[in-house]
Amino acid sequence: METRSENICFGGVQGVYTHSSETCASDMTFGLFLPEEAKTGPVPVLWFLSGLTCTHENAMTKAGAQAIAAETGVALIFPDTSPRGEGVADDESFDMGQGASYYVNATESPWASHFRMWDYLTEELPALVGAEFPLDMDRQAITGHSMGGHGALTIGMALGRDRFTSISAFAPLCRTMDSDWGTRQFGLYLGEDREKWRPHDASEVMRDRGFDGPVLVDTGTADQFWDKLKPTALATAMADRRQQGAFRLQPGYDHSYFFISTFIEEHVAFHAEALYG
């Protein structure tokens, strides 16, 4: 693992690291914020999965999460959104290929050889950071934005309380099986059998299994991608499941990091409360 940078931040350290990923068959880069408490022992972990076109850097530099993470003693991990580099398949459109993994394990050519993001995020990267940094991997939570909100919800519900204490999302893709952000991509990544898509549709997973813990979802009423996100599907599934948690519509907010930075303190505090029990 190579240290790309480390900067003092709110008494802790914001680092960026690159490692060779066996799962994705490429070099992968991630950001990690360690609060000051990590100097004396392991700290709980909050994962932040980013959206389409993003890298590890977007949320790390724009969300403003480090201040409240430092206050609550929580580490933040900012993974990349896909494998990258020479030889990694890509697409001319922004919503497919590099920067647009949808956090799935692709099964179709040419994607399957590198796009194994589900396994990377649930197995390889947690094992790496748990071994290399003072992190309490028995206390983890997960959040994300847009495509990353979809990833946080589907991964969080699939792994359940054995892995995560809590789940949250900012403007997540709520129904991917029949959305412009889902149908083309899943067809290319996972093939034409739509049953294989179901575990990667947040509203379907919510309806099928939900989460045995608190869930917080925020979406802006002025989100310019409302029709693609399909928030009504997730809100209805949460209500039908009687899911513990809250689905909030924030008046006037759009899809940008201005929206995320406005509510990030509430989300990190929400997770900190669950992580510290």
CB 43 within 8 A of CB 53: no
201 catalytic residue (yes or no)? no
Which of 204, 218, 208 is CA-nearest to residue 175?
A: 204
Contacts with 80 (C-beta within 8 Å, 6 or more apart), sequence order: 28, 29, 30, 55, 56
Which of 182, 170, 161, 148 is CA-nearest to residue 216?
A: 170
Set 80, 201, 218, 223: catalytic member: 223
Pairing relation of β-strands 215-220 and 245-250? parallel
Provide the edge-to-edge strand list for the sheet that holds 215-220: 2-9, 12-21, 26-34, 75-79, 43-49, 135-144, 164-170, 215-220, 245-250
193 catalytic residue (yes or no)? no
212 catalytic residue (yes or no)? no
Set 56, 114, 200, 255: catalytic member: 255
Set 146, 166, 179, 203: catalytic member: 146
Residue 228: phi and psi, rounded to 5, are: -85, -35
Contacts with 40 (C-beta within 8 Å, 6 or more apart), sequence order: none
How far apart CA 231 and CA 229 sit, in angstroms, is 6
Question: Residue holding tokens 């575990």?
Answer: 199
**Residues with catalytic annotation?**
146, 223, 255
